[in-house]
Amino acid sequence: MGSVGLLKNSAMVCAPLMAPSVEQLVHGMLQAKAQGADLVEIRLDGINNFQPQKDLQVLLNNNPLPVLIVYRPIWEGNEFEEDDDHIHKQLEVLRWAKELGADYIELDLKIASDFTKKEKPRWSSGCKVIASCFVDNVTSKEDLSQVVAHMQSTGADILKIVTNANDITELEKMFHLLSHCQVPLIAYSLGERGLISQLLGPKFGSVLVYGSLDCNAVPGLPTLGSLRQAYGVDFMDTDTKVFGLISKPVGHSKGPILHNPTFRHVGYNGIYVPMFVDDLKEFFRVYSSPDFAGFSVGIPYKEAVVSFCDEVDPLAKSIGAVNTIIRRPCDGKLIGYNTDCEASITAIEDALKVNGRTNGAAFLPSPLAGKLFVVVGAGGAGRALAFGAKSRRAEIVIFDIDFDRAKALAAAVSGEALPFEKLASFQPEKGAILANATPIGMHPNKDRIPVSEASLKDYVVVFDAVYTPRKTTLLKDAEAAGAITVSGVEMFLRQAIGQFHLFTRTKAPEEFMRDIVMAKF
């Protein structure tokens, strides 16, 4: 277990700012400082009626943080690089920025060489030059190394490579580059699939990572607050173990705000990041190093991922769905588990016990025994619920939009499958339990419920696996109809507790995790 508590890397957290007025940029700088940025990147070309010397003076006299100046205007629809006059104007602005006290200036690779060779020998200021380059299509690690070699020849102090990530697996080339590069380097990918290049940049040695102002979410960029508070980027080092949630979509997950603070709480050197995965096979092929120590698995992959595990725990195997994968340290094999099953079933059982609705049958092994248990959705979560209900000897009815899928699950748990069209008019016997295991009602389609409102009065417990929002419309309606309700948040917490134990091989601090969930979900 690594120690956390001291700063472990030198990566700076940078807030990119672009605004139509200097006043807005100054305000942005103050916000960035308050939100924990180490420096700000100011894009001058967003300023309306830009007056270089005057505006730079205001900006660089009012900077609460070190400043990186970028000026990349497009004149009359043409990229400036194509025109000597425009290049001259651009360089003049950057020269002023340096003279007025900018800490860093950024130049495109195409003009960086000339500039550094002419200008740098005469500099007395500490201003550093960043040579930057956008690589549209990263074909191989060798290609990237060649770009770096070319950039190095410019004489710039820091190199910056930006790519477009079409797939999360492309980022591994960036991580490889970062960890092998001998010169100060910033490397990341744009877009939703590029997010982990910012989150893991400090582990692999990036000079800086970008975080947006908290009020200004940008796809692919974490917020400053999340970088510092949730992900704890300051505490990352080369030994930090990476755990990722494999899912598509993935942005809804609250896993990072639960697992990361818990790692730090127990002094475990790990980070938990959302991983937007399109292709499981390619994903597991590329992220095969011990750095990537384990995974949560979310929608839609809980069943598909089973075939990528080298071994599967017997419970997960019988369910046919895995939500947790550990890379076994001794041989690198991927071992699959299912923590959803016990999480959801014990959450429902405990709700019945707390509410004293066990029919006085304290001798029965579970308050679910003999009850009708209606599962809507026969995907990964539905399978976990149905197998859990079976282990508690409940009578199971399954609905799924895919009737064959419902039938297959019903057969596996000795239950009954009914056609999805019947769900709207389905009236259970009194005292039944309802479990929604579909995404119906999940943010942003919050108003929908999977069953008819009229049927809700006959359920003693209604459980919803959806946890965003915490109180779904289904749970609100069920509560109004008099049912005990169990939120997906409770299941989420319990499956995460199980996962934490598997990830770290230590007992999860359950109260600490519960407090986070209560405060932040």
Ligand X SMILES: O=C1C[C@@](O)(C(=O)O)C[C@@H](O)[C@@H]1O
Q: Which of 52, 244, 255, 415 binds ligand X (CB under 6 A)?
A: 255
Q: How far is the CB of 314 from ligand X (least distance, A)?
A: 18
Q: Is 212 near ligand X (CB under 6 A)?
A: no
Q: How far is the CB of 334 from ligand X (least distance, A)?
A: 15
Bridge partners (DSSP) listed for residue 325: 295, 336
Q: Is 323 near ligand X (CB under 6 A)?
A: yes
Q: Which of 495, 503, 504, 513 binds ligand X (CB under 6 A)?
A: 495
Q: How far is the CB of 104 from ligand X (least distance, A)?
A: 37
Bridge partners (DSSP) listed for residue 92: none
Residue of 302, 371, 390, 407 marked active site: 302
The answer to whether 491 and 343 have CB atoms below 8 angstroms apart is yes
* Closest to ligand X by CB, 16 or 255: 255
What is the spatial distance between Cα 414 and Cα 417, in angstroms, rounded to a whole number? 10
E strand or H helix that includes residue 515: helix 510-520
Q: For the stretch 110-122, what's the b/e string if a residue is b when 16 or more beta carbons lie within 10 angstroms of its beta carbon?
A: ebbbebbeebeee
**Vertex 511: Cα angle to 510 and 515 (nearest 5):** 120
Structure tokens at 295: 């995974």
Q: Is 260 near ligand X (CB under 6 A)?
A: no
* Closest to ligand X by CB, 16 or 244: 244
What is the spatial distance between Cα 262 and Cα 516, in angstroms, rounded to a whole number? 9
Binding mask 458-487 for ligand X (x = CB under 6 A): ------------------------------
**Contact stretch for ligand X (CB under 6 A) within 29-37, 182-190, 219-227, 247-255:** 247-255
Q: How far is the CB of 500 from ligand X (least distance, A)?
A: 11
Q: Which of 298, 320, 439, 441 binds ligand X (CB under 6 A)?
A: 298
Structure tokens at 18: 């672009």
* Closest to ligand X by CB, 336 or 367: 336
Q: How far is the CB of 371 from ligand X (least distance, A)?
A: 24
Interactions with ligand X, residue window 346-405 (CB under 6 A): 381
* Closest to ligand X by CB, 257 or 351: 257
The answer to whether 43 and 70 have CB atoms below 8 angstroms apart is yes
Task: Tell me, by CB under 6 A, how many residues bind ligand X.
Answer: 12
Q: Concatenate the DSSP letters of all residues of 102-148 into one string.
A: -SEEEEEHHHHHHHHHHHGGG--S-PEEEEEEEES----HHHHHHHH
What is the spatial distance between Cα 299 and Cα 241, in angstroms, rounded to a whole number? 23
Q: Is 245 near ligand X (CB under 6 A)?
A: yes
User: Which residue's Cβ lies closest to ligand X?
Assistant: 298
* Closest to ligand X by CB, 255 or 469: 255
Q: How far is the CB of 368 from ligand X (least distance, A)?
A: 20
Amino acid at 199: L
What is the spatial distance between Cα 477 and Cα 386, in angstroms, rounded to a whole number? 23
**Contact stretch for ligand X (CB under 6 A) within 170-178, 192-200, 263-271, 491-499:** 491-499
* Closest to ligand X by CB, 104 or 500: 500
Residue spans of alpha helices (H) in 254-371? 255-266, 280-286, 314-319, 340-354
**Contact stretch for ligand X (CB under 6 A) within 41-49, 200-208, 446-454, 492-500:** 492-500
Q: Is 8 known to be catalytic?
A: no
DSSP, res 221: B
Q: Is 253 near ligand X (CB under 6 A)?
A: yes
Beta strands in 342-458 (DSSP E): 372-376, 395-400, 416-419, 432-436
Which residues of the shown chain bind ligand X in the complex (CB under 6 A)? Answer: 245, 247, 253, 255, 296, 298, 323, 340, 381, 492, 495, 499
Active site residues: 302
